[in-house]
Structure 1
Amino acid sequence: MSIDSDTIDFHVVINDEQQYSIWPAYRPVPAGWRTVGVTAPRAQCLAYIEEHWTDMRPATLRAQMDGTAAGTH
């Protein structure tokens, strides 16, 4: 089974830094990642990510730059 196959489904996954990725649905989701509820062919998953992941910065960096990180005043 090829990872580039259009016949296998993927999960859209997200980590604690709010970074997205795709993961083959037939494999266990790795530690530190969780599914967002989308399981579909690769192209559909990537389209979901493109629509929802609008800020590529990790969540901690966004918080720090916005002055909302813990201990930042």
Structure 2
Amino acid sequence: MEYSNPFDDPNGQFYILMNTSGEYSLWPDYCPLPAGWNKVCEPQPQALCVSWLAGHWQALTPQTWSATGEGR
């Protein structure tokens, strides 16, 4: 099956990206990287990326959000 949205392709290769707030994102390996995001790893299958994120990203609140006291 071909996917119209590259983020939904379970057979795709993805970077794990991280921004300065400590948030992560999966990013298709053939798409240009968005500004402000850095690669955490080289392209991996989607399932490996999701597994890595499950073990390394426990809080959805951005680090900078918690540090500034916003949202309290």
Question: Common fold, TM-score beyond 0.5?
Answer: yes
Cα root mean square deviation, aligned = 1.6
Identical counterparts, % of pairs: 34
Where does structure 1 lack aligned partners over 5 or more consecutive residues?
66-73
Higher Rg: 1
Maintained 8 Å contact 1:38/1:45: no
- Give secondary structure in 1 for the equivalent of 2:15: strand
User: TM-score, normalized by length of structure 2?
Assistant: 0.76
Ranges in structure 2 where 5+ consecutive residues have no aligned partner: none
Superposition misfits of 4+ residues, deviation over 4 angstroms: none
Normalising by structure 1, report the TM-score. 0.75
Of the three residues 22, 36, 40, the one matched with 2:44 is: 40
Instruction: Please point out which of 21, 25, 39 is paired with 2:25.
Output: 21
Greater strand fraction, Structure 1 or Structure 2 = 1
* Conservation of the 8 A alpha-carbon contact between 1:14 and 1:33: yes
Q: 1:23 to 1:48 in 2, by over 3 A?
A: same
